[in-house]
């Protein structure tokens, strides 16, 4: 069990956030820690994770970093073993890590880049669910949040590779949600963060003024609120800019 001496609505809860070194993942990790959860942060870049962890600790939060490549064979299994040896239950799993391939026609998709996106955006998500399902079942009210994109349901020209991985992720999460609904307290939400000021967004829309889209902190605030709600499993929502 996480540190129960922490204050906040999520005190005593354990959260795992992938892609936590920057953008929405980092903002969510900080927001969960601010709400009292002990947060495990994973991403490939140790230096960036350390910077996020330092911010969490300076704000009085509690966290642990686990630098890793989700696509590395057995990396997720090793992470689950390490976490399981220290804690009994996982209360919150936020799958934020994603790879955006170079935009272009379906006929010109680079197979190596596509395979990387499939590995990170889809295969790693399945591996996370498989590895952490036992710990999620031990939670009194586990919440699994998978971040998607509008192109999953509304494909656009030149977004084929990314859209395909996100559409497959949504199907995977929906199936898992139905499978555990009647036999556990796990609740799954599929969340489209909408237009958000991230490095990935800047790559996809290089001419866009960052000031015209919401900051990652807005998404993080909604996710922290969502994990405290009693939503039906398979819940879907899009986070638009605050009015």
**Average pLDDT for the chain:** 95
Residue 162 a catalytic site member? yes
Which residues neighbour 225 within 8 Å (Cβ) at sequence distance 6 or greater? none
What is the three-class DSSP state of 102? coil
Q: Please state the separation of Cα 90 from the chain's center in Å.
A: 14
At 204, is the pLDDT very low, low, confident or very high (cuts 50, 70, 90)? confident
Which residue ranges make up each domain of the chain?
Answer: 14-238
Of the residues 162, 173, 180, 201, which is catalytic? 162
Judge whether residue 242 has pLDDT over 60.
no
Q: What angle do CA 73, 122, 156 make, to 5 degrees?
A: 145
Judge whether residue 5 has pLDDT over 60.
no
The number of residues making up the chain comes to 243
Average pLDDT rounded to a whole number, residues 92-105: 95
Q: Which CATH number is 14-238's, of 3.40.50.720, 3.30.1490.190, 1.10.287.70, 3.60.150.10?
A: 3.40.50.720
Average pLDDT rounded to a whole number, residues 2-23: 88
């Amino acid at each position: 069990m996480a540190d129960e001496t922490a204050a906040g609505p999520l005190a005593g809860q354990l959260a795992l956030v992938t892609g936590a070194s920057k953008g929405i993942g980092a903002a969510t990790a900080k927001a969960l820690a601010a709400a009292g959860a002990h947060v495990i942060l994973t991403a490939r870049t140790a230096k960036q994770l350390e910077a996020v962890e330092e911010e969490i600790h300076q704000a009085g939060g509690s966290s642990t970093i686990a630098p890793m490549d989700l696509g590395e064979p057995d990396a997720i299994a090793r992470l689950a073993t390490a976490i399981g040896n220290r804690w009994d239950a996982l209360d919150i799993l936020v799958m934020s890590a994603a790879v955006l391939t170079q935009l272009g026609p379906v006929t010109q998709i680079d197979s190596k880049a596509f395979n990387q996106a499939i590995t990170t955006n889809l295969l790693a998500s399945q591996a996370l669910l498989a590895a952490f399902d036992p710990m999620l079942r031990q939670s009194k009210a586990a919440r699994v949040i998978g971040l998607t994109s509008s192109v999953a349901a509304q494909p656009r020209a030149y977004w084929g590779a990314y859209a395909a991985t996100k559409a497959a992720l949504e199907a995977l999460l929906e199936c898992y949600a139905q499978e555990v609904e009647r036999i556990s307290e796990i609740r799954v939400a599929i969340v489209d963060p909408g237009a958000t000021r991230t490095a990935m967004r800047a790559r996809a829309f290089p001419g866009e003024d960052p000031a015209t889209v919401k900051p990652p902190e807005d998404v993080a605030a909604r996710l922290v609120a969502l994990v405290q709600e009693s939503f039906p499993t398979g819940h879907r929502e899009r986070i638009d800019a605050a009015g």
